[in-house]
Chains A and B, each alone.
Chain A
Amino acid sequence: MAVLELSLNKVRDLDRLEKLTRLEELYLHDQSQLMLDEDGAAKFACLPYLEVLDLSKNGLYELPRSMLAGLTSLEELYLQNNKLTEIPPEVCLLQNLIELDVVSTDQRS
């Protein structure tokens, strides 16, 4: 599986994400109840080929710092329309990142 589009569902956690090791594009925007904790965030380390990640419009307050570390192939990261107050500094380690969207996420710092 290379592309999984699951937007506009009611996904609550990222259980089983670690099984999708071949994933290149993951669309998970507009989940009404998504909780992204350390456990869930750690699962992204199992997706070394992920190039596009869309987590916009999920009401997220923070991104666990462990989340971005393993995403070595990431080119596009969409976080707009959440409630984030900061972006983890690990985003600077994403050497392939081309597009980062954090518009209207209540950035105040």
Chain B
Amino acid sequence: MPRMIERFKEDFGATDLEVLEYISEFISGERQQQFKFLLQGRSSLIRIKYHDDPNVFNVEDNILEGENVNQDEVAKVMLRRIQKHQSEAEGSRSLSLDRLHSERLSKELFSLAHLTELDLSRNKLEQLPVEFAQLNQLRFLNMNSNKLRTLENFPTLSLEVLELADNVLQVIPATFCQLMTTLRSLSLESNQLQKLPKEFANLQKLEELYLQSNLFARIPSTLGKKRH
């Protein structure tokens, strides 16, 4: 089995494989292409589970299983992604820390004040720490599929697109609406919202609002403020 893992790493250039469950004799040509495609752009993987069974093979379901990952291991992978970003060309202002199922963020993240795009989707974050607000150049932030209950400590100067789908939000705090006035697009899909606060009208630049799969019984009343 270990030799298989080594071969896998070589074949696919996946240097950060943490755990690999490789359940098959070999990978046929077509599968190999699929794997190469999947691994493109992924600097690290938490866990690969591979069944060489055409009935089981489903790319998303089968590849990354992070539900029970060890948080200490996850923290290492997150840190490595951040360090890799820091060592790369200075031009990069975009960072993906997605799919780590992490419950917390590395402190090192907060010093990357130049970031304009950050993907934190598919983690297990319940809230953002105060230091997160230091990322004041962020324009795109993806926090889909986390466990957010509150909306605090977002950077407020330039955020334009905020993705918060598939969290457990029950209310939108008034302060959030008063601070996030640069938002153009806000996704709150698949939360537990019943209404929006009257302060929502402060989001005067908002062009796109996604509220599907919530608990709204009425069309929210505070959307209609005229721009300008």
Contact = CB atoms under 8 A, between A and B. Distances in A.
Contact of A13 (B207, B218, B220): B218
A20 B207 contact: no
B224 A19 contact: yes
B212 A11 contact: no
A9 B214 CA distance: 5
Interface residues of B, number: 21
A98 interface: no
Contact of A19 (B189, B213, B223): B223
Interface residues of A, number: 22
Question: From DSSP, what is the main secondary structure of chain A's interface residues?
Answer: loop
Contacts of A12: 217-218
Given A10-B216, A16-B219, A5 B207 contact: no
Nearest to A2: B207
Contacts of A49: none
A8 B223 CA distance: 19
A92 interface: no
Contacts of A66: none
B207 A9 contact: no
A9 B224 contact: no
Nearest to B208: A3
A68 B206 CA distance: 27
Contacts of A11: 216-219
Contacts of B218: 11-13, 15-16
B209 A4 contact: yes
B222 to A, nearest CB: 9
Interface string A1-35: 11111111111111111011110000100000000
A10 B217 CA distance: 5
B227 interface: yes
Contacts of A7: 212-213
B208 A16 contact: no
A20 B220 CA distance: 10
B212 A9 contact: yes
Given A2-B207, A2-B208, A3-B208, A9 B213 contact: yes
B37 interface: no
A1 B189 contact: no
A27 B221 CA distance: 16
B189 A9 contact: no
A58 B209 CA distance: 21
Contacts of B141: none
30 contacts: A1-B207, A1-B209, A1-B223, A3-B208, A3-B210, A4-B209, A4-B211, A5-B209, A5-B211, A6-B211, A6-B212, A7-B212, A8-B212, A8-B213, A8-B214, A9-B211, A9-B215, A9-B216, A10-B217, A13-B218, A14-B219, A15-B218, A16-B218, A16-B224, A19-B221, A19-B223, A19-B224, A21-B224, A22-B226, A22-B227
3 tightest A-B CB contacts, nearest first: A19-B224, A9-B216, A3-B208
